[in-house]
Every structure is written in structure tokens, then in C-alpha cells.
Structure 1
């Protein structure tokens, strides 16, 4: 692969790595695995930097600084976003996805904090209601990852359901995040609907030369698992806390994985509307 003129440094490095030729065998398998990890790490760049900031400020941010820790996190997130655009580490199309996630996430945060689902225990000036503005960037990190990994691995799909059905499901999931506080929680029905829609779908991705594949539902679960692990880091860093963590930190309930799987579906559908869903005609392995 030749790098496109004016491409980012990552694109040039990626092109050189993808151009490497190795004979079939263990060395090629190891190289493909390492290249897969490199690409995944690059796709996680924004989220990884945000997690690093949460931990660093938890341990080292001055307790009586003139600038509140939460406000510093908001300004740092804005600076990271601006730098990624300025150095062409992110496209404007991906930035639009991130902005959409920020808005959707902030709306959810406003409702959930008012309902007492979780709290932000520290003070801030840059906030809306009880929600510091940096919180929206945590949702944006999810959108950033999906948008970038979609492009980097050239996602294609087999037996993908009609787009309108996925949009309807994502809308129902989002509404249920609010409505279950007054109405019966229909998440089991939503899980069943997700299995019915995506159960036959496979995602085809290309780490190096050979297209690989996995069930799309498995992909949702694996990303949700990593988000749950990141959530544990966030609560440990006192970025937010759940009511049952007021007397001391402990691991977030594994039941939260279900919520993250549903959020993954919303996130995935939003990104699919930006990138489009392309069918795969390749033999998958």
C-alpha cells in the first residue's frame, strides 16, 4: 500500500508495515498479531489518553489547585481533540461522530445523575447541572474508537440487517435508558431483538493482508468488556462513583456489562450512519 500524499504519520507507518512481506508460517502470524495490536492501540488513542489523565490527576493533581480537577480534565480533553485534528490524527468526519456522542452522552448524564444512578463527587465550574463537561468526552472516546477502528480495519459485513431496523433498535435502547425509571425495564426484550437482528451477521476486518472475521455480537461483547474495564479505572480514579461505592471503591458490578453491550449497539449504529455499511465479498477466515 502506498501512502496517500498529505496522509498522517500513522497512515505512512501503517502503509510501510502493511507492505512488509513474510513467508507463511509462525513469523507471519506473529507479525499480523502485533500489527493488529498496533492498529487497535492507535484506534484507542483518545480513550487511552483520557484514562491516563483520570489516573494521573487522581494521584498527582493538587488538592487545592485554583483550577478544579474536573475543569482541568475538560480543558485537557478539548486540547487533545484539537491536537488530533490539527495533526491530522483524526478526520473531520470522525470529529462529527465524537461531537454527536458528546451531546448524546451529556443528555444521558444529566438525566442519570438527577435520577441518582451515579454521582460526580468533586467540584467544577465547567458543568451543566450536576454533570462536569469532561464526562461527555468519555462517551466521545467510545465513538472515537469505533469510528477509527472502522476505517483502519476496513470493516465489511455479511448478512447485515436492514439499516432502518438497526436505527429503530438503537432508538429503543436509548429511550429505555430513560424510561425504565418509570416504566418496566425492557432490556431483555432489547437483547432478544439484538440477537434476532445481528445473530447472523459477521464483521470482516483486515489486520494485514488476509480478511479475518468474527460474529458481530461477539465483537459487541468484547468492546463492551473493555469499556467495563475502563469504567473500573474511572471509578477507581474517583472520576464518578456509583451509590454503592460511597463507602469505598470496589469493582463495578459485572451486570453493567449488559448496559455497555446495549450502549455498544447505539454507538455502532451511529458510526454506521457516518461510514456506511459495506458488504463483504471476500472469503472470510
Structure 2
């Protein structure tokens, strides 16, 4: 129980950015801010939170770079999905672009923030990582399937099977109080996807966005959405893992270079 509590505490600290977004959604739903629309207020809260997290060194600059990448990726997906009618943002705002409030990108960025924080706090390590090219192709295919499923066959189940085949030997190791545990990587994808679906229900309840069946009154998000979040989690994790893999490779190259220079000088 002590280990479970410690694990939960580290997870909670890793979720600071998502928690702030949920609190902003809840507070602005109940309390109407003067002279500013709700979506604009949420954007200001997100920006202020990001600045404070950097100022207090809660996040490193490298982590912020990853988060910015996810912000752009998420915003692009939001623009497309809202245009296609998958969901909508019914309230008015100054910072609303083609029907999408700019704060929406921070919801995707908060997932990246959680992953970066958890990776560092739990000292994640991966074993039997597949070839980088296969990871890149899989993540690209999953992301673009969110776009193409409106016109051609939805390949999500094929992509899930491909994920299992590519990562069936990959394990993620995490450390809690100096004790290391292991979990199959596909299982971690499923667990994170499920909890994001729970968070999605909370977010739609507070009016973060609306699905077509939620216009008249709030309804629980269909359980099938876990499938979509699972795929998004895979893309998010793979991008973070690839960036960290590239950074570690550069670090090792730099160390070897410095060691070679030292040997040459000696």
C-alpha cells in the first residue's frame, strides 16, 4: 500500500497541468469572469500556468519544447475535426479561430506534460525498443488516420494490431521508492487511454467541448472513444520516446567526442 500511495502521489504531481485545466473549466463554468469570455479566460490561465511551471523549474526547457510540438499537433487536429463536425465549441471568444478556441491545444499539451513529468519522476526505461523507422511509420499512420477516416476506411483496428506486433516484446520499467517494476508497453497505452477517457467525461461535463449528442444535455462519452484516446496516447508516447531517444543519442555522441578529445590531448 505504501508503494501504491507513492506511485499515485508521483502520478498526481505529474498531472499538475491537466488538473489546472480541469479546475479552470470547472471554475469558469460556475463563475463568469467580467470583461472576458470563458474560452479566453481559460487560455490566459493555461499560459500563466505554463510560465509559472517554467519559472519555478517544474518543467525543463526540453519538456516545454515537446509540449509546444503537441500543442501544434493537437490544434491542427482540432481545426480539422471541428470543421468535419466531430465536435464543437459553442461559446464565443476572441481567441477562437475557425470555430476552435486556442486553449484547446493546451489539452493535448497537458497530455505531453504528464508524460514528460512521469517519465522523469518515475525514471522510465524501455527495453526491446523496435527499430526507429517502424515506430515513426506507425505513429505517422495513426495520426493521419484521424484525418483520413472521414473519407476512406478507418484503419484503427489494423493499427492496434500493428502496435501489438511491433511492441509485443517492449517493456516499460518504472521506479517507485528505489524499487523497479515492469509493465508491457501496450498495457500502459491502454491504461492511460482509459483514464484520459474518464478525464474526457469530466471535461465535456464542464463544457470544454461538445459532441453532437451532448448539445441538448450532457451524456457520458461513448466507451468506444477509449479506442481513439488509445491511439492518441500511442502517438503521444512514441513522439516523446523518439525525442528522448534522439536526445540520448546526441548526449552519448557528445560524451564520446569529449572523451576522444581528452584522450587525444593526453
The TM-score normalised by the length of structure 1 is 0.84
Q: Residue in 1 aligned with 2:28?
A: 57
Q: Greater share of helix residues, 1 or 2? A: 2
Separation in 1 of the partners of 2:157 and 2:9? Answer: 36
Q: Residue in 1 aligned with 2:62?
A: 93
Which sections of structure 1, spanning at least 5 residues, go unmatched? 1-29, 279-285
Q: Residue in 1 aligned with 2:137?
A: 168
1:43 aligns with 2:14: yes
1:179 aligns with 2:148: yes
Aligned residues: CA RMSD? 1.2
Instruction: Give secondary structure in 1 for the equivalent of 2:183.
Output: strand
From 153, 157, 177, the equivalent of 2:122 is 153
Which sections of structure 2, spanning at least 5 residues, go unmatched? 249-266
Separation in 2 of the partners of 1:86 and 1:212? Answer: 33
Write the mapping of 1:132-281 to structure 2, written as runs, cut at 5 A: 132-276=101-245
Contact preservation (8 Å) 1:93, 1:274:
no
Instruction: Give secondary structure in 2 for the equivalent of 1:124.
Output: coil
Contact preservation (8 Å) 1:55, 1:233:
no
Tell me how far 1:276 sits from its aligned partner: 2.0
Tell me how far 1:200 sits from its aligned partner: 2.1
The TM-score normalised by the length of structure 2 is 0.90
Separation in 2 of the partners of 1:270 and 1:252? Answer: 27
1:75 aligns with 2:67: no
- What do residues 149-195 of structure 1 show as CA deviations (whole Å, max 9, x unaligned)? 11111111222211221111010011110011111111111111011
Separation in 1 of the partners of 2:32 and 2:197? Answer: 25
Number of equivalences: 247
Separation in 2 of the partners of 1:39 and 1:240? Answer: 29
Q: Residue in 1 aligned with 2:92?
A: 123
Separation in 2 of the partners of 1:184 and 1:34? Answer: 44
Contact preservation (8 Å) 1:153, 1:207:
yes
- What do residues 105-137 of structure 1 show as CA deviations (whole Å, max 9, x unaligned)? 000000000000000011110122110000000
Instruction: Give secondary structure in 1 for the equivalent of 2:179.
Output: coil
136-145 or 158-167, which deviates more: 158-167
Separation in 2 of the partners of 1:39 and 1:98? Answer: 19
Contact preservation (8 Å) 1:46, 1:80:
yes
